[in-house]
Structure 1
Amino acid sequence: MNNYSTEQVRREINKYRTEAKIIVLKAVGYPIESNYIESPEIEVTNKELFEIYAKDQWDGYKVSKDKYLFDQKLLPDYAFQVVEVRPDNSYITNNTSILVLPSENKIKTINSKQQYKIEDVIGQEKAKNKTKIITKYLEDPDKFKNWAPKNILFYGMPGTGKTMLAQALANELNVPIKMIKATSLIGEHVGDGAKQIHELYHYARHNKPFVIFIDEIDAIALERKYQSLRGDVTEIVNALLTELDGIEDNDSIITICATNNPEILDYAIRSRFEEEIEFTLPDEDERRLIIENNIKTMPLKCVFDMDIAVSKTKNLSGRDIKEKVLKTALHKAISDSHDIITDDDLNYAIHETKKEVTVPDTMFV
């Protein structure tokens, strides 16, 4: 007769059970009949440590949605409700990812500090038309049903209004928006990024309607041949694919991703976007409007030639016109103790913006 350790027996049993891939828990507290007067608020600050702790005591437990798991160690009988499990009616094993949702007052979403309106975005008419469709959908989701907008890719040169338009959309609809830089999803430990994605979408599903904006998506979704530039982020990509596919109920959740380089995106991710919308550099009329709108709020009066300003800012983005040209011209005028911004200040700013970087010949000797 073979002598098996408890761990070996567990592994043998688990071979014949459906394994839970991911479990999302919500800290509930003690049962009403408990003698404890107060239920402490649980905040998991070390997700990796909690997962080890959870598996150690719940390995082999069968779990299903809305059921409860009870702590038997640090806080005996403290209850955690299962708010999501994939697949349902499955068993916890050493491979199961276990997440705990932060309490509602710990979740931070952004209603942009910049109260942009869609009309503040100059040009980009195709993108604005798409936001009209999103607006109509979020106002009446039942009308669209399976024809709802879901996953959208904004692409184009930096500073052309991708982030600004996403903020404006959320502001005008009074809808919460979570804005993420994809680089922040690359954690120190394997699985950190995937957990963040699953937590984000779970929170969104319970706070619909909701807009998720992921900037610089190419940081995690590079085409396979470029993947070595970022390291192994396969688990993050797989988690995002799962959520973009809408395996769970993602009605009234809009995902907008942005990139400057759509051509280097992995096809698996890129194919999930129903529409790719290009953000272009402003044309002459749009540059004029950008300059006119911005000089209204400048602390010094502008007396430069508008036609020359429009002409010389060709091939610059709206952000570059504001941040690099107009702001530099303003600072130049102030540093020279001038009360107005002149053509000289503007020309100086444009020269600084377009100044080419030269490489010494000796570099290649």
Structure 2
Amino acid sequence: DYGFEIVTAKPNNSIISDNTKIKIITDKIENKHENVKSDVTLNDIVGQENAKSKVKVITRYLENPESFGPWAPKNILFYGLPGTGKTMLVKALSNELEVPLYLVKATSLIGEHVGDASSKIHDLFKKASENAPSIIFIDEIDAIALHRSFQSLRGDVSEIVNSLLTEMDGIEENKSVITIGATNNQSSLDLAVRSRFEEEIEFKLPNENERLEILENNLKTMPLAHDLDLEKIVKMTKGLSGRDIKEKILKTSLHNAISKDSDIITMENIEYA
């Protein structure tokens, strides 16, 4: 039961027959579960106080796992609109604790053949356990932990869900490993998987004060000077996430100013964005 990918065939129009020889080169298989390093800190994250409070519990646990016993935090779900800081918070936590972070997109755990997905999930948790204390962050977890009613859309749903449940239950002890899932829509999760998360933490869009702080923090690193009415921009950006403010408003404004050979970012550039 060995999963493999045919990389090259000679001649390239080969037909597999009884005489076909297959050489499996295991030392060139890419390891996709690499530890992610970041320089983000908790001070870089504006708002999301409820999530930051939970992070304190994780910090205490990973610093002294023995003191928690059966009360250790294990599986946590972050949910909220894109760009509200879910990934950023996990990177900051890993950075400040100096523990390995295994950050994966859920879709990267989907295999091409039966059994691939369960093997990938097992390997991910095994590597995190071998390098504990560590954090696993599965982004867009709803892509693999779908509610069983969607099984007709994806035939491997049951296999993937069962593999996740096995690892999250810790049948093979994952001591000092925190699993954090992230989703934009927690209602689409399989109920059994969702029940394994001890806490669901909502990431909210920034309020006016938080949008002002996001603007001020990002403007400090701008390569051009600026003459902006920040209070007006705060009003204009209602309903936008922190990432939207940085990427869609400030970055677009910067590029618009540069394209017009300007040495300063003005409200005209903001309004263009």
Q: TM-score range by the shorter chain?
A: 0.7 to 0.9
Q: Does 1:110 align with 2:35?
A: yes
CA contact (8 A) 2:148 2:158 kept: no
1:208 to 132, 139, 163: 132
1:256 aligns to what?
Answer: 180
The unaligned stretches of length 5 or more in structure 2 are: 6-25
Q: Does 1:144 align with 2:68?
A: yes
2:170 aligns to what?
Answer: 246
Alignment-mate amino acid for residue 110 of structure 1: N
Larger RCO, structures 1/2 (Cα 8 Å, 6+ apart): 2
Question: How far off its partner does 1:108 sit?
Answer: 4.8
Other structure's SS at 1:271 match: helix
TM-score by length of 1: 0.66
Other structure's SS at 2:36 match: coil
Question: How far off its partner does 1:212 sit?
Answer: 0.3
Aligned-residue CA RMSD in angstroms? 2.0
Partner Cα distance (2:105, 2:195) in 1: 21
1:224 to 148, 167, 175: 148
2:159 to 217, 235, 239: 235
Q: Does 1:306 align with 2:192?
A: no
Partner Cα distance (1:276, 1:159) in 2: 18
Number of matched pairs: 252
CA contact (8 A) 1:220 1:230 kept: no
Partner Cα distance (1:125, 1:309) in 2: 24
* Partner deviation per Cα, 1:250-274 (whole Å, 9 max, x = no partner): 1200000000000111101100000
Structure 1 segment 179-190 matched on structure 2, within 5 A:
179-190=103-114
Alignment-mate amino acid for residue 191 of structure 1: G
CA 1:326–1:116 in structure 2 vs 1: closer, same or farther (change >3 Å)?
Answer: same
2:115 aligns to what?
Answer: 191
1:48 aligns to what?
Answer: 3
* Partner deviation per Cα, 1:12-55 (whole Å, 9 max, x = no partner): xxxxxxxxxxxxxxxxxxxxxxxxxxxxxxxxxx94259xxxxx
1:354 aligns to what?
Answer: none
Structure 1 segment 102-181 matched on structure 2, within 5 A:
108-112=33-37, 114-181=38-105
Question: How far off its partner does 1:241 sit?
Answer: 0.3
Alignment-mate amino acid for residue 48 of structure 1: G
Structure of larger gyration radius? 1
Alignment-mate amino acid for residue 35 of structure 2: I
